[in-house]
Structure formats: structure tokens, C-alpha cells
Chains A and B, each alone.
Chain A
């Protein structure tokens, strides 16, 4: 079985690097696709912009979504994912620095599947990534694809 793609939507190169490092340390073999802003994430999912022609039926197994993003904000990306029939079931985990109540509440209102606050302590961050990978990629039963 081919390992599915994980879509990381993150604009901070430092965080991208650390996340990639954490994935590597957690022995998660899935391909990590990085979208550096909200628009790029949407282009990837719906086959627009630089991703024109991509088979949009090939959905990522998991979307790791930061909230504070250039161009299109994280909550708007989430709203569009949920609004589109094709992507509405894709597991989306909010992975962000913010612990603001309004962010958490809004994310869940838009049917985020999980909300993880990135700890400052990198050791803990690696632990969190490990737990998350185990849960979403192994334990969790993925949603069935939508029949066209």
C-alpha cells in the first residue's frame, strides 16, 4: 500500500524544517507536501495555480494546517475544504502556536478534526508529532472517498 500524502500548510521555514525533522524522528514515512500559504494549499487541493492538472482525486491522508498564513488565512482554508464536496471529509488537524480561545472555538466550529498547539519545547513537539502520526495515520480509520 502506497503511503499517502500529508499536506503541511505552514509559512515559517523554521517551523517547516522542525516539522520535517520531527516527522523524520518519528519514523513517519508518508510524503510531506508543504504549502507555504493558504492559497497554495487550496491550489494543491483543487488543482489550481502551479498544481493545475494534478489529480485532485488523490486526497492527502491528513492536512496539518497553521492558522496564521499569508494570503488566505488558515480558517478560510478550512472553511473552503469543508465547503467543497470533494474535500469535506479530509481529516484536518490545526497545528498552530496560538492558544486563543476564539481560534480554538472557530476551528472546531468549522469542523477541524483536532487542534494541537505547538509546544516551545522541541522535545515535546516531537512527542506531539509522534502521537499525532500514530493516531491519524495508523489508529484512525480514514474516511471513505466520495463517490462521484
Chain B
């Protein structure tokens, strides 16, 4: 461009020179001929020639003046224009010579670097270059000088920086040119401070990165479509949820993914979108595999007419909604089919829920009752009582069971109500729930039982009193038997003896024998009475259970028997040591005394009597036994062995009243145990007994 202009200017100059050459030549050729034609006089000719010569000089001078003046003006204008451009340029313009000394430093450069042109002119360019880079920079310029390229943009060199007068470094963008004048190279650099644009660029890049990152990370599908609905951009989530690759999706239109029947049901509201509204809609999209995906789409039209949408997979929400709906139906079914009253009441006492059973109890359609308080529905007193219970539940924030009453057309009903606090999503109590079971019948039954119990106690008291009276009677009976029955006996005995003593001489032997028999019978009667009293005393005696050393008790009895035995009687006693049992010591002593007495009595006719007390195992249980080798008895008649007054032998053989074993059995029974015997006539008898608490 510049070169062309220079050529044009040269052509102009050539033209002028050529015209001047032609005119001059013509003048030289023809001026003398014309002069010769006009005058022949030599002098005149000389004069004309002189004037002509001077005239030529003057014309030429004037022309030269005009030309030079015009050129000078043009040149000055050009210079001024150039300087104006240079100094008003936004970019810094710096020229250096071949030695890289600064020869031009414009106003923008002054501003950019902080130097004035005056102070920097003639200085090395190095002061504007960071120190570490100077050598390389210098090399680059020299290399550029050798290429002969006139002009090069240097932004290929990343991170070129300049140094300000105050030492600050800043990024610059630069282009460099070179011209050669009179064999001297002049390099001119145009520099731009790109701090701001760098920052803007970084910000843009970050913004772009952020946007991209959000787009890629978003779990929602994000898409942009053109005005015809064709996808232009879809993020990975958008692809994933539909099962397409991005490339596949970019060949589709939005309407391709919407089931036709849905499209007519839920049309795309283009009119509203075009008004700039954001439209939120729920619809189903066809996945690549043909299944339908429920989504929520937020769509809007961008200023450039493209459609932007964000779609969310609401499969789970749909499922949750379906589950919720199902569970609500289930809850309704359960509450409505319950025979208990089920209800919910808010903190202001208004019914939120009433099941069918409660509806029937309240006697009005629940639609008319929901939202009303109890006071409107029930008698005030009852409503207040129920409400007080609600308040207690709300205050204590715990489920509480109450007994509540209600007046109903069928009479007063009693309910067992479990009331529990209802919590809102913040965990605060917002009301109460209640389940009330009609326990009227149970209550009545309870009352009946209670009444029955009371009368039962009365009856027991009555019976106890009767029993106590009977006991007193029995005691009185025993007392009078012991006292009153014995005195006549003593009288009979005493007076029989008196008869014998006073009138013996006048009675024959037969008469005396009769009186002796009377006395013997009286004695027997006395013994019987004594034994019966003992038996009754044992039945009534209080039991004090303790561990009793049976071996020691048996030994004591044996000592007494040894002392009482008649001269010449041989009895061998074997007592096992260390046998103990839980029981009443006095009563157990009665047992051993009776059994050992019996053994002693029934072995009285043995030459070598053998009596043993010990413990053995019978039917897996430890049992005590008293064994003798005495007379024994026939087991056939043993059924009444332990009955009172039952005897297995004749009195003439072995005396006795038949009360001893009855007494023993009664003691064993009172200890919760049992007693039995084995016997063989002429071989001996063994009594076994087990005490329930034995060894426990």
C-alpha cells in the first residue's frame, strides 16, 4: 500500500518532469526560429535572446518556487497528520533504530510505561523489557531484522510483558514492523496493554468453564433446541435419562420424544413461551428403549428464539406419590373397617379425621363434622372431659390411655382411649390421634365380677366364721371329753375298787373277777379317750417347720424302749446316722415314737427282735423306713391299716387302741407326704414314709 503510493507520487513527478522536458525542448527548438523570423537584427536578436533567457529563468524560478512551496506544505501537513496519528493513537508506538535505541515514544507509550518521551529518547529498549527476557528479546528483534518481513504480530509469543517505570510488569500484545532508511533499519512496535482484556478473557473462560461444568454435572437434563424444536445441545444427564447418545439426540426433535396422545392432552404452550414465560409441566418422554420416563420440564424461549429446557426425572417422586396415594387408601380402609373409634384432632380441638365407626357413633355424616370442635358435636360436659385428656397428651407429649365416657342413644358407653401426640414435620405437637375401644360390656362384666368378689369375700368371711365356730365347738368338745368323760370313768373305777375293798370278803371269786373286768374295761376306755384326744390335738396343732434330726429322735425313743423292756428280752436296734427332714419336730417325734413303739410291741414274742430305722430309695425317691421282724399282718386286710380304731391283732395278743397309725398318717399328711407298709405274717413289717419337703 505504502509502496504503491510512493510509486504514484513518483509517476506524478515524472509526468511533471516530462512535461517540463517537452515544453523546454520545444521552447529551445522553436523560440530562436520564431525570434529569427521576427527580427534579423543581430542586436535585436541578441536582446530578444537575452530577454528570452531571463524570461525562461524567471518562469522556471517561479515554477520551481511553486513546486517547492507546494511540496513543503504537503510534507508539513503529512508530518503533522502523522504526528497527530501517532500521538493520539490508543496504542503505544515505539520506534528503535538498529541499535535498539528508542527514537519514537508516543503519548500512549508515555502513559503505558510511565516515562516521558524526553527522558527515554535515545535510551535502550531494554529498560522496557523484563530483565530475564532482555537477551532473548534482543535476539528476536535481530532475527526479525534479518527476515526482511516488514510486519509481524507478536501475539504468538505468549506472555510478553513490559516493565513500567515503577517496576510493575504488565501483559502486552504487540506487532512489530521494520523499514530501512538510508541503509539504517528502523523497528517500530505497536503495543497494547492487555491487562484488562486478559482479565476479561480469563473471566470469560472461567464463566464458560463454570457453565460447562454445571451443564455436565447437573443431575437434571438440560437441553437447548432451535425454533423448530430440534435439539442443539443436550447435557450428559439429559442423554442418560433418555438412553440416547448425544449424537443420536441431536438428530431428534422434542416432539419425537413425546407420545402423540400426550401431545394432544398436554400441548406445548408455545404462545405463552413466546411471551417469555417460563412454563413448568409434567409429561412423559419416550426413552430409546421405548419405555416412558416421567419428567418435570421447565422451559423458556431464549432471546435468540431458541428453546431452553431443564427436565427432571420424577420417577421416584411419581412412585412416592403413588405409594402415598395407596397408603392413604389403605389407611382409610383400615380406619373405616375398624370396630374401634379412630380420629385425629388438631391443637385447636377440631376434628381432622373421623372413621366410619366414629361417624356412626356421632350420628352425622363426617363431612359435616370435620373441622368442627367437640363442643359442637357432644354434650358440653363430656366434650370438656375428653378435651382435658387431649391437653394432657399434648402437654406430656406421650401416648396415654384414658377411660372415657360418652352418652349415646343406646345409653352410657365406656371407652378405653389411647391418645397420642401428632407431630408436624418440625417435630412439634400439632394435635392428637386417638383410638377408642368400646369397653362398656367389659366394664359391666368387671363391675359384676367386682360385686361378685365383694359378696364372695363376705361369703368367705361367713364361712370362716362358721369354721371358726366349728373349731371352737370341736375344742369345747375335746375339752369336755377329756374332762367330763374321764371323771365318770374314774368314779366307776374308784367305786368298783371300793366295792372290792369294802365288800370283797362277801363276794365269791366269780364276783371279784367281774369287778376286775369292770376295772380293766374302764382303763381301756380311759386309754381310748386319751388317744382320741391326742389324735385331735395333732390335727389341730400348729406346724413349725425346721430341719429335724430324725436319727437323734429315733435314738431317744430307743433309749426309752430299752429302759421299759422286760427282763430277758433281746432287741437289736439299728438306727442309721445323720437322717434329717424338714418338718415339725414334735409331730415327727410322734411319728417315730408310734412306729418304733409298734415295732417294739409286735416283736415282743420274738426271741431275737430286730428293729431298724433308716433311709432307702423307693420309686426313685428317698423314703424313710421302720422295719421289724415281728408278728406282721396279712396284707389282705391292710386297706384300713391307717384308719382310727382299726386293729390287725386281737387285744389279747397285742393290746392297743388302733389310734397310733391313724395319728402317724395324719402327721405325714400334714407334711404333704405319704406312708405305706409291707408286711408278711410271721416275717415282720416295714413302714415307709416320704415327707414332701424332704431334703429340700
Interface residues of A (CB under 8 A from B): 12, 14-15, 17-18, 21, 67-68, 96-101, 118-123, 125
A15 adjacent to B490 (CB under 8 Å): yes
A123 to B493, CA, bound (A): 9
A119 adjacent to B490 (CB under 8 Å): yes
A97 adjacent to B493 (CB under 8 Å): no
A122 adjacent to B490 (CB under 8 Å): yes
Contacts of B493 in A (CB 8 A): 120-122
A122 adjacent to B494 (CB under 8 Å): yes
Nearest chain A residue, comparing its CB with the CB of B525: A120
Contacts beyond the supplied A97-B487, A118-B487: 9 A-B pairs with Cβ under 8 Å:
A14-B494, A15-B490, A15-B491, A18-B490, A98-B479, A98-B483, A100-B479, A100-B482, A122-B494
Provide the B485-500 mask, 1 if CB < 8 A to any CB of A, else 0: 0111111011111100
At the interface, yes or no: B526 with Cβ under 8 Å from chain A?
yes
Expressed in whole angstroms, the minimum distance between the Cβ of B474 and any Cβ of chain A is 13
B490 adjacent to A99 (CB under 8 Å): no
B487 adjacent to A122 (CB under 8 Å): no
Contacts of A99 in B (CB 8 A): 482, 530, 533
Q: What's the A-B contact tally at a CB cutoff of 8 Å? A: 66
Nearest chain A residue, comparing its CB with the CB of B489: A120
7 contacts between A and B (CB under 8 A): A14-B494, A17-B494, A18-B498, A68-B484, A118-B487, A120-B486, A122-B490
Contacts of A17 in B (CB 8 A): 494-495
A120 adjacent to B523 (CB under 8 Å): yes
Question: Which of A17, A96, A101, A120 has the largest count of B CB atoms less than 10 A from its CB?
Answer: A120
Expressed in whole angstroms, the minimum distance between the Cβ of B341 and any Cβ of chain A is 66
Contacts of A98 in B (CB 8 A): 479, 482-483
B526 adjacent to A120 (CB under 8 Å): yes
Nearest chain A residue, comparing its CB with the CB of B482: A98
Nearest chain A residue, comparing its CB with the CB of B479: A100
Contacts of A18 in B (CB 8 A): 490-491, 494-495, 498
A122 to B501, CA, bound (A): 12
Chain B contacts with A in 444-501, Cβ cutoff 8 A: 478-479, 482-484, 486-491, 493-498
A120-B493, A121-B523, A121-B526 given as contacts; is B482 within 8 A of A12 (CB)?
no
A21 to B496, CA, bound (A): 13
Question: Which of A15, A18, A96, A123 has the largest count of B CB atoms less than 10 A from its CB?
Answer: A18
B483 adjacent to A122 (CB under 8 Å): no
A21 adjacent to B486 (CB under 8 Å): no
Contacts of B484 in A (CB 8 A): 68, 97
At the interface, yes or no: B522 with Cβ under 8 Å from chain A?
yes
Expressed in whole angstroms, the minimum distance between the Cβ of B304 and any Cβ of chain A is 124
A96 to B486, CA, bound (A): 10
A123 to B501, CA, bound (A): 11
A99 to B482, CA, bound (A): 7
Expressed in whole angstroms, the minimum distance between the Cβ of A30 and any Cβ of chain B is 21
Contacts of A97 in B (CB 8 A): 482-484, 486-487, 490
A21-B498, A99-B533 given as contacts; is B483 within 8 A of A120 (CB)?
no
Contacts of B498 in A (CB 8 A): 18, 21, 122
A30 to B482, CA, bound (A): 30
A125 to B487, CA, bound (A): 12
Contacts of A15 in B (CB 8 A): 487, 490-491
Nearest chain A residue, comparing its CB with the CB of B496: A122
Nearest chain A residue, comparing its CB with the CB of B529: A120
B522 adjacent to A120 (CB under 8 Å): yes
Nearest chain A residue, comparing its CB with the CB of B485: A97
Contacts of B526 in A (CB 8 A): 119-121
B483 adjacent to A68 (CB under 8 Å): yes
Expressed in whole angstroms, the minimum distance between the Cβ of B436 and any Cβ of chain A is 63
Contacts of B490 in A (CB 8 A): 14-15, 18, 97, 118-120, 122, 125
A68 to B483, CA, bound (A): 8
Nearest chain A residue, comparing its CB with the CB of B530: A99
Expressed in whole angstroms, the minimum distance between the Cβ of B532 and any Cβ of chain A is 12
Nearest chain B residue, comparing its CB with the CB of A12: B487
B491 adjacent to A14 (CB under 8 Å): yes
A99-B533, A120-B489, A120-B526 given as contacts; is B483 within 8 A of A125 (CB)?
no
A82 to B31, CA, bound (A): 208
A61 to B484, CA, bound (A): 28
A120 to B537, CA, bound (A): 20
A67 to B498, CA, bound (A): 25
Contacts of B489 in A (CB 8 A): 120
Provide the B109-153 mask, 1 if CB < 8 A to any CB of A, else 0: 000000000000000000000000000000000000000000000
Nearest chain B residue, comparing its CB with the CB of A96: B483
Question: Which of A100, A122, A125 has the largest count of B CB atoms less than 10 A from its CB?
Answer: A122
Nearest chain A residue, comparing its CB with the CB of B527: A120
Contacts of B486 in A (CB 8 A): 97, 118, 120
A14 adjacent to B497 (CB under 8 Å): no
Nearest chain B residue, comparing its CB with the CB of A10: B487
Q: Which 10 A-B pairs have the closest CB atoms?
A: A120-B526, A14-B491, A122-B494, A18-B494, A97-B486, A122-B497, A98-B483, A120-B489, A122-B493, A97-B483
A59 to B503, CA, bound (A): 38
Nearest chain B residue, comparing its CB with the CB of A68: B483
A122 to B495, CA, bound (A): 8
Expressed in whole angstroms, the minimum distance between the Cβ of B524 and any Cβ of chain A is 10
A130 to B121, CA, bound (A): 172
A14 to B494, CA, bound (A): 9
A137 to B487, CA, bound (A): 26
Contacts of B519 in A (CB 8 A): 121
Nearest chain A residue, comparing its CB with the CB of B541: A101
A144 to B498, CA, bound (A): 38
A32 to B28, CA, bound (A): 224
Contacts of A120 in B (CB 8 A): 486, 489-490, 493, 522-523, 525-526
Expressed in whole angstroms, the minimum distance between the Cβ of B535 and any Cβ of chain A is 14
Expressed in whole angstroms, the minimum distance between the Cβ of A98 and any Cβ of chain B is 5
Contacts of B496 in A (CB 8 A): 122
Contacts of A118 in B (CB 8 A): 486-487, 490
Expressed in whole angstroms, the minimum distance between the Cβ of B588 and any Cβ of chain A is 19
Contacts of B522 in A (CB 8 A): 120
A97-B483, A100-B482 given as contacts; is B495 within 8 A of A123 (CB)?
no
Nearest chain A residue, comparing its CB with the CB of B487: A97
Expressed in whole angstroms, the minimum distance between the Cβ of B531 and any Cβ of chain A is 12
A61 to B622, CA, bound (A): 60
A31 to B530, CA, bound (A): 34
A67 to B497, CA, bound (A): 25
